[in-house]
Structure 1
Amino acid sequence: MAGLDSKTPIPTAFKLHCRSGMLDVTFNDGKTFKFSCEFLRVYSPSAEVRGHGPGQEVLQLGKKDVSITHIEPVGNYAVRLDFSDGHNTGLYSWDLLYDYGLKQEAMWQHYLQRIEASGGSRTTTTL
């Protein structure tokens, strides 16, 4: 993960839409990204999801209805998101959120392909 520098856009607003399960993040360069809670959960930057190195990623199943229950600022560089399934160990830095916003569609399609290839489901946790 790249460190923050003077060019890293900084969030100016987080807006959680509980009914739709969407989190809007607005940055100081004027961009606003809309993330589903499911997307943020399955792409958590935690070791539990990412593993400890390339190729160790753990496919997250059954996260379609997960929601964000709490947003906790971490210093001036990140937020920790608490999810309804109990997961809360990922720190979402400003640069990570911005990068996710730019690459979200491709990342989502890759996730859906991995789910299909595994025979898994977005609604159940078993294969």
Structure 2
Amino acid sequence: MIPQPTELKLLNPDTLQIAWNDGLVGRITIRELRENCPCANCIEKRSKPEPIALLPILKAEETQPLRITKMDPQGRYAYAIDFSDGHNTGLFTLDLLRELGEVVGDEGIGE
């Protein structure tokens, strides 16, 4: 059975904390979430070499600090996350969220 989140909490604008029903508590930076977006476009972009650009062209929203603007559960297996840079096509499975999270607590594990 896939562990389920019991609490999702923004600790500050840059960090999401997830408490799981098995006692594990993990933290993920918003930047790490965005950089690991599982949508097809992001996977393809990450697999290509970075183009050499002297002056990258950024959209206005890309110049602002990255934030989560919306996070909706998708059944009992994933979350759809909207980011402040306008990206909203990634479906983050619970397995991925758990894998990305840095463990900061493990109350109840091993009991």
TM-score (norm 2): 0.70
> Aligned residue for 2:77?
77
Q: Secondary structure at the match of 1:86?
A: coil
Aligned residues with identical type, % of pairs = 35
Query: Rg larger in 1 or in 2?
Result: 2
Q: CA RMSD in A?
A: 2.8
Post-superposition shift, 1:102?
A: 5.7
| Offset from partner CA, 1:13-62 (integer Å, 9 cap, x none) | 11123x4411111111111111111110011111121129xx72576x96
> Aligned residue for 1:21?
14
1:88-127 correspondence to structure 2 within 5 Å: 88-101=88-101
Partners of 1:49 and 1:57 within 8 A in 2: no
Partners of 1:41 and 1:63 within 8 A in 2: no
Does the C-alpha gap of structure 1 residues 99 and 74 become closer, same or farther in structure 2, counting only changes over 3 Å? Answer: same
Structure 1: 4+ residue segments shifted above 2 A: 55-59, 61-65
Q: Secondary structure at the match of 2:89?
A: coil
Q: Which runs of 5+ in 2 are unaligned?
A: 51-55, 57-61, 104-111
1:4-43 correspondence to structure 2 within 5 Å: 6=1, 8-17=2-11, 19-43=12-36
Looking at secondary structure, tell me which structure has more strand per residue: 2
Looking at secondary structure, tell me which structure has more helix per residue: 1
Mapped partners of 2:63, 2:35: distance in 1: 7
Higher relative contact order (CA 8 A, sep 6+): 2
TM-score (norm 1): 0.62
Aligned length: 93
